[in-house]
Amino acid sequence: MSQLSKKVLGTGAAVVALSAFVPNPFMIGDAMAQATASDTMNITAKIVNPMDVNQLVKLNFGSIAVGAAASAKVVLPATGAAAVTAGDAVLIAGQAAGKVSFNAPSNQTFTISVADLATKAIFITAGATTAASKTMKVDQLFLKASGTKISIGGGTAATLKVGGTSTSAKITGGTAGNVNIGGRLISINPNQLVGTYTGTYTMSVTL
């Protein structure tokens, strides 16, 4: 082989050898450069109150004529006819049990309470007064399940009274149930002012 040939081959060999060490432009620090992307994600939550109570029919002791005996009492059951249980008052007309609707999570036990009975009876009055002749009292409320979708006090009925202001309840077969409400009216005296007596109380439901 001529010297010229040797030089050409040597040069060619050198070129080939050097080309093997040309750095790869896509390699940095012996690691492949990574492509990245990001986005902002959303989180949401909603708080609701599943409990509700609404008066459908107001409790009405109707028209009553007072007699000579003091402290007459009238019992109006949650279902059934009203009756005078003490004194000589006379029921005239219009007696009607109340009704209330409840909403609560299905099969969850909740509490029905009337804080107005915590220490005393509920006053109903003829006008803005507490004079004895213009005041009567309701010292008991009778609750009775209406239909089969709600239980009261572990059964079908319960009584709320002074010192016993709450009872348990549960709605089954849905989230709505109705309860009839009766009561006991006391302090009906011979000197009661003629007129319409009204009052209010607050019924609460809690899980």
Q: What is the pLDDT of residues 3-23, one digit of tens each?
A: 444 444 444 443 444 445 555
Q: Could you tell me the pLDDT band of residue 127, with boundaries at 50, 70 and 90?
A: confident
Query: Is 70 exposed, middle or buried, given 0-12, 13-18 or 19+ CB atoms closer than 10 A?
Result: middle
Range 83-102 average pLDDT: 96
Mean pLDDT of 65-88: 95
Q: What is the pLDDT of residues 93-116, one digit of tens each?
A: 999 999 999 999 999 999 999 999
- pLDDT per residue as tens digits for the range 148-168: 899 999 999 999 999 999 999
Residue 130: predicted pLDDT: 76
141 contacts 182 by C-beta, under 8 angstroms: yes
Position 31 scores a pLDDT of: 58
Q: String of b and e for 104-131 (b: at least 16 CB within 10 Å)? A: beeeeebebbbebbeeebbbbbbeeeee
Rounded to whole angstroms, how far apart are CA atoms 198 and 91? 17
Say what the pTM is.
0.79
Backbone φ and ψ of 64, nearest 5°: -130, 130
Average pLDDT, the chain: 88
